Amino acid sequence: MSNTLNRLWAYRGFIWQSVKREFTLRYHDSVLGAAWIILNPLAMILIYTIIFAKVMQARLPNAQSSFAYSIFLMSGILPWGLFSDLISRAPSLFIEQASLLKKIQFPKLALVAMALLNSLVNFAVIFSLFMIFFDRLWSASRLVYCGCDSFVVITALDWHGSIGDPGYSQYIF
């Protein structure tokens, strides 16, 4: 295990540059460019809040705030988005990067680390917008933040453990 981590650490510059490149290329050809990084999650948060808090007037039992249900909903949807992004990328991870694997010799686990870090960077942007929104509407943000934070760590470790295990790849491909 430590040998694998040492090899990944040796390729940390390559991994980080690949994550930065993929992050910038994701929004490069869009009309609004890098603004989509903020506009997309902000629109999702606002739409769910307006629909559930104002239009449907959904309420949680024993909750004082009219936004409690939409906050509750978003605190589940955001980690689920991270989880679904990781799982949807897993089956094609090595196939999409086949040309890179043929050209450069590096640990295969670096691809897993790149995908994981890229998903976590996207999640960090969305989650920070949600926390700003949440802090403005409700005062108990630290409890939900700790709960979502631990869910993200568990999801990332589980994904890394299942995809990073060489014996697991026979079930994917």
Residue-wise over 67-95: b if at least 16 C-beta within 10 A, else e?
A: bbbbbebbbebbbebbbebbeebbeebbe
What is the pLDDT averaged over residues 110-134?
85
Predicted pLDDT at 17: 92
Predicted pLDDT at 154: 58
Neighbouring CB atoms inside 10 A of 56's CB total 11
What is the pLDDT averaged over residues 116-139?
80
**Strand blocks (E) in 25-87:** none
Distance of CA 133 to the CA centre of its chain: 18
- The owner of tokens 């997309």 is 40
Dump pLDDT digits (tens) for 47-99.
888 887 778 877 777 777 777 777 778 888 888 888 888 888 888 888 888 88
Q: What is the pTM of this model?
A: 0.70
pLDDT for 105 beyond 80? yes
In degrees and rounded to multiples of 5, residue 62 shows phi and psi of 60, 25
Distance separating alpha carbons of residues 140 and 153, to the nearest angstrom:
21
Dump pLDDT digits (tens) for 132-166.
877 776 554 445 555 555 555 555 555 555 444 44
Predicted pLDDT at 167: 46
Assigned token pair, 50: 């307006």
Predicted pLDDT at 166: 46
What is the pLDDT averaged over residues 4-28?
86
Predicted pLDDT at 141: 44
pLDDT for 26 beyond 60? yes
Predicted pLDDT at 168: 41
Predicted pLDDT at 138: 59
pLDDT for 131 beyond 60? yes
List the domain boundaries for the chain. Answer: 2-40+83-172
